[in-house]
Structure 1
């Protein structure tokens, strides 16, 4: 049987780990040496603290995020209001959409965001895992559904003769847009403007795996005394036979879609694969905890496994994902718990964290164990929406996608989005398709997001006085000047993605979005009473403090260590220093 990271051997209360030999950077510890170091740390901590692995006397997180902050139990909970970094920019100061005097979202998308059939891989060597993990985490912390209505006054106007949406020059085409869910106790007057709701917990708490309510969490459990999560044949996600709330923008019967903690798990196959991977990871922990603590109840096992999986998600996000996105030194060091509200800022969820849309390629690669394209070929992104149950039918079907995400460079962070997202999101133009860039612009206006310059000022950054202040690329600044009458009119998302990256600091983002991302992820970490560094015991921390996403992939699939980089957020094992110089 293949050995891999986290293939557990239980002895003397120790969850030991074994690893197959693998290549590693010259002068760096081998994976086996890393594991030995972790085992030594585990044994040392055991001597100091006693055997406190998976102790069930500790408090566990709630599913809905409440009770984390003891002084403000609702902070970070599901269905709480989004926060603001800067005052709203509603047209009437109350609730009317911003941007009434600006060009429409589709027009700006055509002028500024159109990538056509070109490809611009990033210069940092980051892989498609950068945007895929970003989306996975987004679905852990943010959900603001549109509320469908018969009011079509906010639909996005399509310019007459638009080559994709209005080729027959009718001038009557619109892209459907419904306003976001908001707190209906707000939007009454200038002192009480409209505030949107986050429908899931703001914490990085694995809610996309487990759910943001006790009812959804219970429905996803096997409930057979094992502590495991439900799966379907092939060790895939369970099918939605109970018809839990679930997003569906495709033709598949709702009961035949997969179901997970977050309603968007079927959105595209790469995301479905990530959900599948972490359900398997939970079940792997559950099986090992059962062997270590055979007297534990199913509840004991489930909650202990959940605690470890949440910790792994936090570690990967802060140790691998964020450094690849914003640089190794962008985040301030963790200095312990601080009481505060981690609620999402609308500038983050409504603009800055939509940065990943510019990173996505038009193809999802599917690679076999020998590094070749699988017989069924790679997937066009437009063919990967809401059809995962058709594409994933056996256990090994997720492996080619996981290899492919590591093999392809993500697109550069810039002002452009590939055609599959700008014209073919969830369907072709005129047949259910959307323009993701236009939706981003319109959603920002729906939320009353302040302009790009107003947010910069709120962050303590200098206001741009000319379009060339935003981008040193003449073509980009000229496009902005064509789309906006004044630099003060620029929508936050458009301005943020148009900024120059900061390669000297290892950041793919420009300074505005980088500042927002740092601000938000610092709050999500520092205000979390259950943050892994204070929630886990010393022996538990010793088990996983060096975990990587590649470890979890190898532990739960037939992918061999040599088939993917140690740090899968990069297409190679080059050092961060070398990568940053290349990005420069």
Structure 2
């Protein structure tokens, strides 16, 4: 195992430098008919512009026919709504134009795309002409800025767009599209079509209700993994006219069939759950390559790639401004110190007095346990801002906000690498990739040559491993009586009502429940709540998350499972037996089932192949996913100029401040921002003989006096009491926000709790 990891680690430098198809681009082949090249490029661009216009006309027909909004009540659109509709729509159009122009140029010149990309004469003429319809501005950086930008730009001063929001994902391997450019992989290497993702889901991922996690890991681990994903990843699906939802079912609907964004999942006959033959699936929104160069289809990441708590603060300056209170460095909150109100179309309301929540990511209420964790982190921001203001009364709102945001981002980084990842990855992966923080002091690992941009494979497959651990229930648990109420997960999607329980005390009770409840076992199986009832609507329609993940990988052009095995330095499977030369990291039954739904080992989708691997001892992921995850998190650490352990002048923390930050534990944050007074030390495992409950007052305290800005002429002395660290009531500002009351739409009353 160690030798494999060393080989895998050596591949890291090559991986981060590999963009799109660079690895396969020849340098000796040239397009030679240069006199006609300008006309060929102009004609190709014109053809693409015409095709885009036809696409928009088809979307308008769909919208006018009323089909475009039919899926809205299902909730899928809520979870994938654009954070910045105007910007994403423009980028999606620009990407469409560049990809379709490149595709047309390949056809007209009869020259493979890699050959055209490698020819400087072609590239220069392309850039000259494409500039009139597509541009990707490069931000101007101020090297003296001491805080992160909201959108992640200028983190790397030499490559200011690396890791920033509204940019394409990075590719570690060339994309695997059927036509090499944009058509999803749908055919076997042996010929014939691949099986539908729903068939694969039925065979490999079906279970009903699986076992609980054998290691006693709590639901909070699943919630933290989700919130980390929202910090790093945000891929919206393409949308129709006026940001409406696109309906691709039923298959054969003439207007929908004309829309390139449609890629519906075929449902087999006699499916035990679904009666139709089609599951709606819309392709992800895309982004053009840098300088709008010729390239294959690539998807847009709306979030910053850095671990910067952008799920709280937002990944654009406009979002960040919207969430700020405007005084004291505070974030806005709602009544009862809940998240602030948002538009009522962003969730499903169950009772009068409830409201949807606003945060840095609109997916904050996917399930109640996620929203409860969000609330704790926003409260922690406001608690710290209040105490910093106490110690530094002359600091402006801007200074208080940025210093607090810097501290919260450091907390999130420290918890991820020292509490969360050790559950996900084995100790040897953690050590080989340098993922543990140093026990004390600085750790200057920043390398400006490393590109930390989130990889497509990370977001579309590897970091979706946690979907298997989503439990069958959500719930609340009384802090005193221990009385618990559980609700089927499918009845809680996008519904914040559990957080409003008991006059607003639901946040504490949901958090107490997820601290004391075991998540589903991490394996190849999905619960019915996610595999058959995802975003269940009032008509009984739902989705299959396992099938969607498989289809999303094909949509994104992810290479097969075997390709990633090779990239990781692991042996590819040459046959379907769980023996040498075959599926050596699968149990015999999984290997047999894979042979039932794939014609050749090279056909296996990465998501299914990786998820069905046997877990490495001491982790919850198999070798292939562990490899991809470890590499990505290494890049996120070593490619971040603002990494919390760096001692860059003016950017990093002082030695004393860093010492305090390294004391932080998620259990402390839970104590400080809820009414929980006793908690287990490791919140990612339920209480046990080896993870005993302790009083909150016994946990290490973060001393914010090290942030006192001392003047030359004055020495500030502040009395400090334990009340300033642990409060019987949450010390957060309560905005004078109206408690909005929304009437529940009649169409949703059938699933009220």
Q: Shorter chain as normaliser: what TM range?
A: 0.7 to 0.9
Q: Which residue of 1 aligns with 2:684?
A: 569
Which of 72, 82, 86 aligns to 2:169? It is: 82
Residue 406 of structure 2: SS of its match in structure 1? helix
Q: What RMSD over aligned residues (CA atoms) do the two structures have, in Å?
A: 2.5
Which of 315, 324, 333 aligns to 1:231? It is: 333
Residue 222 of structure 1: SS of its match in structure 2? coil
Alignment of 1:244-393 (within 5 A): 247-248=346-347, 256-331=355-430, 332-333=433-434, 335-339=444-448, 340-370=450-480, 372-374=482-484, 377-389=485-497, 391-392=499-500
Aligned counterparts of 1:327 and 1:460: Cα–Cα separation in 2: 17
| Number of residue pairs aligned between Structure 1 and Structure 2 | 503
Q: Which residue of 2 aligns with 1:93?
A: 180
Over 6 Å off, 4+ runs: 249-253
Aligned counterparts of 1:304 and 1:185: Cα–Cα separation in 2: 34
Q: Which residue of 1 aligns with 2:217?
A: 126
Q: Which residue of 2 aligns with 1:12?
A: none
**Normalization by structure 1: what TM-score?**
0.82
Q: Which residue of 2 aligns with 1:485?
A: 599
Q: Deviations over 1:497-542 (max 9, x none)?
A: 0000011xx1111000000010000000111110111222222212
Structure 2: runs of 5 or more not aligned: 1-143, 188-192, 241-245, 247-255, 435-442, 647-651, 692-753
Is the contact made by 2:175 and 2:557 (CA closer than 8 Å) also made in structure 1?
Answer: yes
Q: Which residue of 2 aligns with 1:4?
A: none
Q: Which residue of 1 aligns with 2:237?
A: 146
Aligned counterparts of 2:541 and 2:409: Cα–Cα separation in 1: 36
Is the contact made by 2:267 and 2:274 (CA closer than 8 Å) also made in structure 1?
Answer: yes
Q: Which residue of 2 aligns with 1:112?
A: 204
Seen in structure 2, the aligned counterparts of structure 1 residues 76 and 480 have a Cα distance that, compared at 3 Å, is same
Rg comparison, structure with higher value: 2
Q: Deviations over 1:273-322 (max 9, x none)?
A: 11111110000001100100011111111111111111000010000000
Which of 274, 278, 281 aligns to 1:177? It is: 281
Is the contact made by 1:323 and 1:329 (CA closer than 8 Å) also made in structure 2?
Answer: no
Is the contact made by 2:349 and 2:355 (CA closer than 8 Å) also made in structure 1?
Answer: no
Is the contact made by 1:142 and 1:349 (CA closer than 8 Å) also made in structure 2?
Answer: yes
**Normalization by structure 2: what TM-score?**
0.64
Residue 320 of structure 1: SS of its match in structure 2? helix
Deviation at 1:395, TM superposition (A): 4.2
Deviation at 1:329, TM superposition (A): 4.0
Aligned counterparts of 1:99 and 1:424: Cα–Cα separation in 2: 26
Q: Deviations over 1:90-149 (max 9, x none)?
A: 0000000113321011111111100123x2222222211221100000000000100124
Residue 466 of structure 1: SS of its match in structure 2? coil
Deviation at 1:475, TM superposition (A): 2.3
Is the contact made by 1:258 and 1:389 (CA closer than 8 Å) also made in structure 2?
Answer: no
Seen in structure 2, the aligned counterparts of structure 1 residues 408 and 470 have a Cα distance that, compared at 3 Å, is farther
Q: Which residue of 1 aligns with 2:560?
A: 451
Higher helix share: 2
Deviation at 1:443, TM superposition (A): 0.4
Is the contact made by 1:365 and 1:408 (CA closer than 8 Å) also made in structure 2?
Answer: no
Aligned counterparts of 1:547 and 1:95: Cα–Cα separation in 2: 45
Seen in structure 2, the aligned counterparts of structure 1 residues 124 and 371 have a Cα distance that, compared at 3 Å, is farther
Residue 198 of structure 2: SS of its match in structure 1? helix
Q: Which residue of 2 aligns with 1:65?
A: 152
Seen in structure 2, the aligned counterparts of structure 1 residues 480 and 251 have a Cα distance that, compared at 3 Å, is farther
Is the contact made by 2:175 and 2:558 (CA closer than 8 Å) also made in structure 1?
Answer: yes
Aligned counterparts of 2:560 and 2:614: Cα–Cα separation in 1: 18
Which one scores higher on RCO, CA 8 angstroms, separation ≥ 6? 1
Q: Which residue of 2 aligns with 1:401?
A: 510
Is the contact made by 1:75 and 1:342 (CA closer than 8 Å) also made in structure 2?
Answer: yes
Structure 1: runs of 5 or more not aligned: 1-56, 167-171, 577-584
